[in-house]
């Protein structure tokens, strides 16, 4: 800015640029910088005016309470027809733009209650009679901020067409954003997933920032509001903080890249602190130098953009799909933000305009809205498939349970019919033959057989928690009936009685494992080892049978059912088997 002041003061003669905008209108223009905003129109030093060409940008850099005076000399070269044109200043965020046309004064801008007739630009209507020449002064004023602008003469029809397109595009964008907000709000209440909440906050701030930056808020919504210049800066800062939090959660940086997660938090805290402090100073100490707040804020903004882009790039290696989604969404943001900051510091000559920001924001919001909705649909479909599998498995389980119950009932019925039924018939025959003593003896034997059958089905001792005693009694009977297989039970610090709800299940599980080892494993020796540790019970079942290849043969229903019953009690089930080398089953249940 000082360099521009210096060159302006060196110009001792009036410099101007004259160009035929068309065959009927010619214009020459110049500008001068009023550092302290103390000049009046009648005291303007025309000798200090610098050249000001149409479409060339005047950039005075960081500005604090300065004003720029622009002089335009216009001439209607047509001696017969009047000319109507619009003098346009292509920066919608100038605080105030005051036109002095003879005795007429007009003011528009962010800091005024007046708005431009067109959303596309700040424009003044100019009318020149045939052959008329007039001198117009325009005072450009912007408080503490960076200031650049250019001017052009535009046709009303073209301005109206561009403004209508911009209003339509911005309205469409805001409408779709709020539709996406409604959808993601419903998804948040359904899933309680914080990703949707972060997306909602980020999208609302995006809509606000777009509305302010495109001049939609000033032109359509709140034309008399006078603080859009500050609102654009602060909403933009908070908008990017919300975007950082959303991407941090979306990429799961806390779990996958904890160092970058902490750096993102630090950047966001610094940015938020800058916003709060600068707002406080702006209200209570407006004369404070804000240059360094802007510089630090822009540097952190650029660093944060680069960091998030690198994080998304790294996330591709961790979770490819989500990482690619983030990269596709964030790359345009990186380009636009980098261009904006580099242009602000005059490192590059131009930046992408507000229309680009509108397209980029629209693309980004739509893309993330699509990704989140698709993620929900994928989860919903997977859950639906899982529910179908669970239903099918339940149906299979019920069918198997019914088959097992039917088989057990058939076995019990056969035992009762073959042993109890025939015994009762024999006792009745003894009574008919009046052999009371012999009948009494047979009734005693029958009672003993019924107790034996009952004990085999489920020992009474299990009611008292005597798991080991119940199994030993059953194993004694099994060993007596086996010729090629021996079953052994060893206990290590294992209690005689257990007050645990899983005693009955473990008794039946042990018998089922033994039955599998005998029937399918063709085992010669089956060893049961029961341990008690400080925090859990450990059960190990080892057989020397034929085993099986675990890579080719999956668990059958019986083993899966055992695993589910163990998991129900918070335990672990593990099976290891090698073909021709036997099988080891280990069960751990919390004490």
Domain boundaries, the chain: 2-154, 166-385, 458-590
Bridge-based pairing of strands 486-492 and 525-532 is: parallel
Q: Which of 58, 36, 63, 228 is nearest to 146 (CA)?
A: 63
Percentage of the chain lying above the pLDDT 70 cut:
80
Higher pLDDT, 241 or 433: 241
Confidence of residue 402 (pLDDT cuts 50, 70, 90): low
Give SS3 for 16.
coil
Handedness of CA 408, 412, 414, 415 (dihedral sign): positive
| CA pair distance 290, 272, nearest whole angstrom | 15
pLDDT at 85: 92
Q: Is the pLDDT of residue 16 over 60?
A: no
* 8 Å CB contact between 82 and 129: yes
pLDDT at 111: 86
pLDDT at 87: 93
pLDDT at 413: 65
Mean pLDDT check: name the lowest of 44-48, 275-279, 492-496. Answer: 44-48
| CA pair distance 47, 25, nearest whole angstrom | 25
User: Phi and psi (nearest 5°) for 53?
Assistant: -95, 145
Q: Which two tokens stand for residue 402?
A: 């019914």
Give, as one character, the DSSP assignment of residue 105.
E
User: Phi and psi (nearest 5°) for 109?
Assistant: 140, 175
Q: Which CATH number fits domain 2-154: 2.40.50.140, 3.40.50.150, 2.60.40.3080, 2.60.40.2380?
A: 2.60.40.2380
Percentage of the chain lying above the pLDDT 90 cut:
14
Higher pLDDT, 422 or 525: 525
Helix H, strand E, coil C: the string for 485-507 is CEEEEEEECCCCCCCCCCHHHHH
Give SS3 for 236.
helix
Average pLDDT over residues 116-123: 90
Q: Is the pLDDT of residue 432 over 50?
A: yes
How many CB atoms are closer than 10 A to CB 526?
A: 27
| CA pair distance 319, 209, nearest whole angstrom | 31
Q: How far apart are the first and last CA of the chain?
A: 77
Burial class for 436, CB neighbours closer than 10 Å (0-12, 13-18, 19+): exposed
pLDDT at 144: 79
Q: Which stretches within 319-353 are classed as H helix?
A: 320-344
**Bridge partners, 126 (sequence order):** 85
CA angle, 408 then 505 then 500, to 5°: 150
Give SS3 for 343.
helix
Instruction: Quick: pLDDT tens for 305-348.
Output: 888 888 888 888 888 887 887 787 777 767 777 776 676 666 76
CA distances from 180 to 185, 236, 378, 424, 540 (A): 8, 21, 18, 79, 56
How many CB atoms are closer than 10 A to CB 251?
A: 26
Instruction: Quick: pLDDT tens for 273-295.
Output: 988 888 888 888 877 777 778 77
| CA pair distance 86, 234, nearest whole angstrom | 32
Give SS3 for 53.
coil
Helix (H) or strand (E) holding 480: helix 467-481
* 8 Å CB contact between 503 and 461: no
How high is the mean pLDDT of the chain?
79
CATH class in words for 458-590: alpha beta
Q: Is the pLDDT of residue 525 over 80?
A: yes
| CA pair distance 131, 40, nearest whole angstrom | 29
Mean pLDDT check: name the lowest of 10-19, 330-339, 434-443. Answer: 10-19
So what's the architecture of 166-385 in CATH?
Up-down Bundle (1.20)
Q: Which of 271, 270, 269, 251 is nearest to 260 (CA)?
A: 251
pLDDT at 148: 83
* 8 Å CB contact between 167 and 204: no
Give SS3 for 152.
strand
pLDDT at 384: 74
Instruction: Quick: pLDDT tens for 364-386.
Output: 777 777 777 777 777 767 777 77
Q: Got the DSSP string for 408-470?
A: HHHHHHHHIIIIIIHHHHHHHHHHHTT-HHHHHHHHHHHHHHHHHHHHHHS-GGGGGT-HHHH
């Amino acid at each position: 800015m000082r360099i521009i002041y210096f060159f302006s003061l060196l110009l001792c003669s009036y410099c101007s640029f004259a160009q035929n905008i068309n065959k009927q209108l010619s214009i020459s223009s110049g500008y001068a910088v009023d550092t302290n905003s103390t000049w009046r129109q009648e005291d303007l030093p025309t000798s200090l005016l610098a050249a000001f060409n149409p479409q060339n940008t005047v950039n005075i850099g960081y500005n604090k309470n300065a004003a720029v005076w622009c002089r335009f000399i216009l001439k209607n070269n047509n001696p017969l027809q009047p000319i109507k044109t619009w003098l346009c200043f292509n920066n919608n965020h100038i605080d105030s733009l005051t036109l002095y046309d003879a005795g007429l004064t007009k003011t528009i801008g962010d800091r005024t209650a007046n708005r431009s007739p067109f959303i596309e630009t700040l424009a003044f209507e100019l009318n020149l009679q045939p052959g008329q020449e007039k001198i117009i002064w325009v005072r450009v004023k912007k408080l503490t901020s960076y200031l650049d602008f250019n001017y052009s003469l535009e046709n009303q029809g073209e301005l109206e067409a561009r403004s209508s397109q911009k209003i339509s595009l911005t309205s469409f964008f805001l409408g779709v954003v709020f539709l996406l907000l409604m959808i993601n709000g419903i998804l948040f209440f359904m899933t309680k997933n914080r990703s949707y909440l972060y997306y909602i906050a980020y999208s609302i701030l995006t809509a606000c920032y777009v509305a302010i930056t495109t001049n939609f808020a000033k032109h359509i919504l709140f034309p008399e509001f006078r603080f859009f210049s500050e609102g654009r800066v602060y909403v933009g800062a908070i908008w990017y903080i919300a975007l950082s939090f959303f991407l941090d959660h979306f990429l799961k940086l806390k779990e996958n890249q904890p160092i970058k997660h902490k750096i993102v938090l630090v950047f966001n805290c610094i940015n938020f602190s800058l916003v709060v402090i600068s707002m406080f100073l702006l209200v209570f100490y407006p004369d404070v130098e804000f240059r360094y707040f802007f510089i630090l804020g822009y540097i952190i903004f650029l660093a944060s953009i680069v960091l998030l882009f690198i994080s998304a790039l790294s996330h591709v290696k961790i979770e490819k799909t989500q990482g690619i989604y983030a990269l596709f969404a964030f790359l345009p943001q990186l380009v636009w933000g980098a261009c904006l900051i580099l242009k602000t510091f005059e490192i590059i000559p131009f930046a992408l305009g507000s229309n680009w920001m509108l397209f980029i924001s629209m693309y980004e919001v739509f893309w993330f809205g699509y990704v989140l909705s698709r993620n929900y649909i994928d989860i919903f479909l997977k859950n639906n498939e899982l529910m179908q599998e669970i239903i099918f498995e339940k149906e299979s389980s019920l069918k198997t349970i019914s088959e097992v119950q039917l088989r057990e009932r058939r076995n019990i019925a056969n035992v009762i019919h073959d042993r109890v039924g025939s015994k009762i018939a024999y006792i009745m025959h003894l009574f008919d033959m009046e052999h009371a003593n012999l009948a009494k003896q047979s009734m005693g034997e029958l009672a003993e057989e019924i107790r034996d059958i009952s004990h085999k089905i489920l020992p009474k001792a299990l009611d008292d928690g005597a798991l080991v005693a119940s199994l030993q009694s059953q194993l004694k009977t099994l060993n007596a009936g086996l010729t090629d297989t021996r079953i052994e039970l060893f206990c290590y610090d294992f209690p005689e009685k257990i007050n645990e709800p899983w005693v009955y299940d473990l008794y039946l599980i042990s018998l089922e494992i033994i039955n599998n080892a005998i029937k399918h494993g063709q085992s010669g020796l089956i060893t049961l080892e029961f341990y008690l540790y400080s925090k859990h019970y450990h059960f190990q079942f080892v057989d020397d049978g034929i085993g099986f290849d675990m890579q080719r043969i999956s668990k059958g229903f019986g083993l899966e059912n055992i695993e589910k019953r163990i998991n129900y009690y918070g335990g672990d089930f593990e099976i290891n088997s090698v073909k021709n080398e036997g099988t080891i089953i280990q069960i751990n249940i919390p004490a």
